[in-house]
Amino acid sequence: MSKEIVTFTFLEFGDLVQIKKQLISVISLCKERGLVHSVKWASELAFALDPLPKDELPPSHLVSEEDVQDLDAFALAKSYFDLKEYDRAAYFLRGCHSKKAYFLYMYSRYLSGEKKKDDETVDSLGPLEKGQVRNEALRELRVELSKKHRAGELDGFTLYLYGVVLRKLDLLKEAVEVFVEATHTLPLHWGSWLELCNLVTNIEMLKSLSLPSCWIKDFFMAHIYTELQMIPGALQKYQSLIEAGFSKSTYIISQIAVAYHNIRDIDQALALFNELREQDPYRIENMDTFSNLLYVKSMKPELSYLAHNLVEIDKYRVETCCVIGNYYSLRSQHEKAALYFQRALKLNPRCLGAWTLMGHEYMEMKNTSAAIQAYRHAIEVNKRDYRAWYGLGQTYEILKMPFYCLYYYRKAHQLRPNDSRMLVALGECYEKLSQQVEAKKCYWRAFSVGDVEKMALLKLAKLQEQLTETDEAAQSYIIYIQEIFSCGEQLEHVEVSTALRYLGQYYFKNKLYDEASLCAQRCCDYNDAREEGKALLRQISQVRDQTETPSGELFVSLSDNNTPIKRVSPLNLSSFTP
């Protein structure tokens, strides 16, 4: 069977019919083996493609002699398997020889061990044993599978299982090798790709892997780019997949939405999530991400609607709990929010987002030690979680330990080199430590990578003002004002007036009275700077009365001096004025 699939995997993208056929056959293969998640993924993709005419449907698989022999036992075992009676299933499969039955046999044993492990955790003999409960079956499985592996008797599915066992035993290097092998033998099984995704930690490692060239590899690449925070690459991949004909796939839409979320493109992400909910109203996956977006945008009614909706669908899901937690958090009921995140963690202790979010809630409640703990847990689950590192940094900043939090911010920055928030935070810390040079570097870098909060330049300018680097400060203020106005939307910044006030004084000192008066006039638009603006205007007119120097000459001389001042600045911004 696997051979058969191998033969028709190396196809070009264009042939959607072939892809569909492959998907259909792999669905039935996975279904027989109880690999529900891969079935779900493949089915979602298949659903997004046009239905095949009747005669085009792939023939049901060839049945080998062994399969026939094991037919009854397999059917019986499968039914037990579906009812989660794994030991029973394994018992009836023990004498079977076909590959299918062997896989199910091993898989039942694995799952049985996992199930027992979960049950054990509930009644362990005390807190000391925490984390020490293990799947006892793993070791035996590994021994058997490695024997077969050496003999080359494993097919794609059993290779996958072998890989999973290795990973659970923390033999990561071997696991990666086996998963790569599994993708070569059976490229269409999404499970192996997904496992590989979790094991690849950096781009160099990804490049070193030799993966089969199959259309599914593009899905994998897109997925792993998202994981490794290489969002532009991921978006590009997904875009090309959509163009190739998967435009209706909810999977791709959700992935793109998550990617946009990761690069803080909130509006795009929101639009996609809304589209997703229209297409798939009972979907619970990724809804926690959606709620994060709604939270950031403070869209209370939408979030409330989403929360209620999800509770109706299934209230005991991690995602639901996270959404409710976010909902309460937005309503500033932080205790309740923390409670729901805790519930989410009870449902799945390895749920990364919930740990981080709980940390945020504790921060809001000023319970710094609990927050630190929550963030540390998040980091334990995933070392690459920049939000947790950032959160830790914030916690220590609140505890007034700017030097101490440098380490955490640096970690976060390392993980997200192009995120301005970490850079601004770093800059602030350096400023508190009076390391102005470093602080300036950070702020400038934050601005260069695209400042989200538009605060970096202002801080830079203020810092330069403190250091009496007047020209540079003026320059920064000018860019700041340009940025604020050019982004169009109304940000809650009162600081424009500060910038204008400074610029007014600056031009005045440099005897550029036209510009100074313009800035002063603008100052008058703002309540807090009105008086000063007027005072400056008065001063200007006084000076002008005294010395009737034509300012034009001054301009010339100044521009000859190559002053860094862009004289275009606030003058031609008039069209943008609020």
Closest by CA to 421, choosing from 441, 392, 443, 439, is 443
Alpha carbon distances (Å) from 64 to 1, 61, 72, 100, 261: 9, 9, 14, 11, 48
Alpha carbon distances (Å) from 146 to 135, 185, 186, 194: 18, 17, 18, 22
Nearer to another protein, 107 or 375 (CB): 375
Binding mask 189-208 for another protein (x = CB under 8 A): --------------------
Nearer to another protein, 60 or 132 (CB): 132
Binding mask 150-189 for another protein (x = CB under 8 A): --------------------x-------------------
Number of residues engaging another protein in binding (CB under 8 A): 30
CB of 328 to another protein, least distance (A): 24
DSSP structural state of residue 125 = S
Cα distance between residue 350 and residue 37, in whole Å: 18
Helices (H) and strands (E) counted in the chain, each on its own, are 31, 0
Q: By the 8 A CB rule, do 570 and 524 touch? A: no
Stretch that binds another protein, among 243-251, 403-411, 461-469, 499-507 (CB under 8 A): 403-411
CB of 43 to another protein, least distance (A): 37
Nearer to another protein, 43 or 373 (CB): 373
Instruction: Output Rg (C-alpha) for the chain, integer angstroms.
Output: 31
Interaction residues for another protein, span 81-120 (CB under 8 A): 120
Read off the amino acid at residue 532: E
CB of 378 to another protein, least distance (A): 12
Residue that is written with structure tokens 């006039």 in the block: 521
Nearer to another protein, 340 or 362 (CB): 362
Q: Rule CB under 8 A: say whether 400 interacts with another protein.
A: yes
CB of 386 to another protein, least distance (A): 16
CB of 380 to another protein, least distance (A): 5
Binding mask 284-313 for another protein (x = CB under 8 A): ------------------------------
Could you give the angle at which helices 99-122 and 156-168 cross, rounded to 10 degrees? Answer: 20
Cα distance between residue 194 and residue 243, in whole Å: 23
Residues 6+ apart with CB under 8 A from 6: 185, 186, 187
CB of 172 to another protein, least distance (A): 13
CB of 401 to another protein, least distance (A): 6
CA 548 to chain centre: 61
Nearer to another protein, 274 or 369 (CB): 369
Indicate the burial class of 524 (C-beta count within 10 angstroms; 0-12, 13-18, 19 or more). Answer: middle
Q: By the 8 A CB rule, do 544 and 513 touch? A: yes
CB of 119 to another protein, least distance (A): 8
Binding mask 134-153 for another protein (x = CB under 8 A): x-------------------
Closest by CA to 195, choosing from 227, 229, 218, 230, is 227
Q: Using CB under 8 A, pick the residue from 7, 12, 53, 132 that binds another protein.
A: 132
Q: Using CB under 8 A, pick the residue from 407, 417, 538, 557 that binds another protein.
A: 407
Buried/exposed code over 492-506 (b: 16+ C-beta within 10 A; e: otherwise):
eeebbbbbbbbbbbb
Cα distance between residue 309 and residue 312, in whole Å: 5
DSSP string, 286-304: THHHHHHHHHHTT-HHHHH
CB of 413 to another protein, least distance (A): 16
Q: By the 8 A CB rule, do 567 and 476 touch? A: no
Q: Rule CB under 8 A: say whether 72 interacts with another protein.
A: no
Report the half-sphere exposure of 186 (CA within 13 A, side-chain side): 24
Indicate the burial class of 335 (C-beta count within 10 angstroms; 0-12, 13-18, 19 or more). Answer: exposed
Nearer to another protein, 336 or 376 (CB): 376
Q: Is 503 helix (H, G, I), strand (E, B) or coil?
A: helix
Nearer to another protein, 213 or 369 (CB): 369
Nearer to another protein, 282 or 407 (CB): 407
Interaction residues for another protein, span 422-451 (CB under 8 A): 433, 435
Q: By the 8 A CB rule, do 530 and 508 touch? A: no
Stretch that binds another protein, among 88-96, 128-136, 227-235, 551-559 (CB under 8 A): 128-136
Nearer to another protein, 141 or 478 (CB): 141
CA angle (434, 438, 440) in 5-degree steps: 95
Nearer to another protein, 304 or 368 (CB): 368
CB of 428 to another protein, least distance (A): 15
CB of 343 to another protein, least distance (A): 21
Cα distance between residue 417 and residue 410, in whole Å: 9
Q: Is 416 helix (H, G, I), strand (E, B) or coil?
A: coil
Q: Rule CB under 8 A: say whether 131 interacts with another protein.
A: yes
Alpha carbon distances (Å) from 290 to 233, 259, 285, 297: 22, 12, 10, 11
Cα distance between residue 529 and residue 524, in whole Å: 6
Residue that is written with structure tokens 């002699």 in the block: 65
CB of 139 to another protein, least distance (A): 9
Q: Using CB under 8 A, pick the residue from 128, 298, 490, 552 that binds another protein.
A: 128
Q: Using CB under 8 A, pick the residue from 402, 427, 533, 570 that binds another protein.
A: 402
Q: Using CB under 8 A, pick the residue from 53, 59, 126, 152 that binds another protein.
A: 126
Nearer to another protein, 132 or 298 (CB): 132
What tokens were used for 9? 């995997």
Interaction residues for another protein, span 331-390 (CB under 8 A): 368-370, 372-373, 376, 380
Cα distance between residue 388 and residue 88, in whole Å: 43
CB of 319 to another protein, least distance (A): 25
Nearer to another protein, 62 or 125 (CB): 125
Provide the binding-site residues for another protein, judged by CB under 8 A: 120, 123-126, 128-132, 134, 170, 368-370, 372-373, 376, 380, 392, 399-404, 407-408, 433, 435
